[in-house]
Amino acid sequence: MSEEKQVVEVPEKFKGLVESIEKLTVLDLAELVKVLEAKFGVSSAMPMAVATVGAGAGGEASEKQEEQTAFTVEITESGSNKIAVIKVIREVTQKGLKEAKDMVDAAPQVVKEGIKKDEAEALKKKLEDAGAKVTLK
């Protein structure tokens, strides 16, 4: 197969810049991209929605998505044993008795945010063992 080089018309104001870039090596270009990303707070990576458009059916797109790494534990109901739930809330959040009780009474309420999966599942189990209903987000 022969590759045809696509001709791109470069506006006059960018000609000097494009000529300078053409002289760079691949490694220099990669370094330049990193510097520009850091300087302007942008990313040269394609947005995920655009990148997965060409993926085939059958769940291939979802397999390519990254696994969630930060979880939020939310108490949805305090259950019948509020005292046990309050004790767990105090233990994991280091809050005082009144703050923990208010949190349990105000369910649904976020208990912890941005925690790892194993920590979130352990906290969920602790709260459920105390009688609360919990969801992970």
64 CB-contact burial (10 Å; exposed 0-12 / middle 13-18 / buried 19+): exposed
pTM of this prediction? 0.48
* Cβ pair 100, 89 in contact under 8 A: yes
Q: Is the pLDDT of residue 4 over 70?
A: no
Task: Give pLDDT tens digits for 36-69.
Answer: 888 877 776 655 554 454 555 455 444 545 667 7
Task: Give pLDDT tens digits for 91-127.
Answer: 888 888 888 888 888 878 888 888 888 888 888 888 8
Name the pLDDT band for 5 (thresholds 50, 70, 90): low
Compare 73 and 68 and report the one with higher pLDDT: 73
Q: Could you tell me the sign of the dihedral formed by the alpha carbons of 126, 129, 132, 135, in that order?
A: positive
pLDDT of residue 123: 85
pLDDT of residue 27: 85
pLDDT of residue 77: 85
> Which domains does the chain show, CATH number per domain?
12-63 (no CATH), 71-136 (3.30.1390.10)
